[in-house]
Amino acid sequence: MIVVSDIQEQVAGIVEEFFLNRTDRDIYTFLKEVLERPMVEKVAEKNNGNRFEATRILESLCSEVI
C-alpha cells in the first residue's frame, strides 16, 4: 500500500534532484515554461488574444510586486 507521506518524500526527492542538478539558465527556462507562458496565454485570452497587451499587463504586475 502506498502512503501519502511516501509519495510526498518521492516528489520532494525528485524536485530537489531537479534543482540541484541544474544551472541557473535551466531553472529560468523551466520557470518560464511552467509559469510565464501559461500566464501570458491566459491574460491574452482575456484580452482578445492580444499577447502584447498580456505581456504589458504582467510586466506591470511584476514590477509592482518586486
> Nearest-5° angle of CA 11, CA 9, CA 35?
30
Among candidate residues 16, 54, 17, the one with its CA nearest the CA of residue 36: 54
Please tell me whether the overall predicted TM-score, pTM, comes out greater than 0.75 for this model.
Answer: no
pLDDT at 65 over 90: no
- Per domain, the residue ranges of the chain are 24-66
Q: What does residue 21 show for φ and ψ, rounded to 5 degrees? A: -100, 20
pLDDT of residue 46: 92
pLDDT of residue 47: 92
Q: pLDDT per residue over 5-60, tens digit each?
A: 778 888 888 878 877 777 777 777 887 788 888 888 899 999 999 989 988 888 88
Cα dihedral: 55, 60, 62, 63 (round 10)? 140
Q: How far apart are CA 48 and CA 18, in angstroms?
A: 36
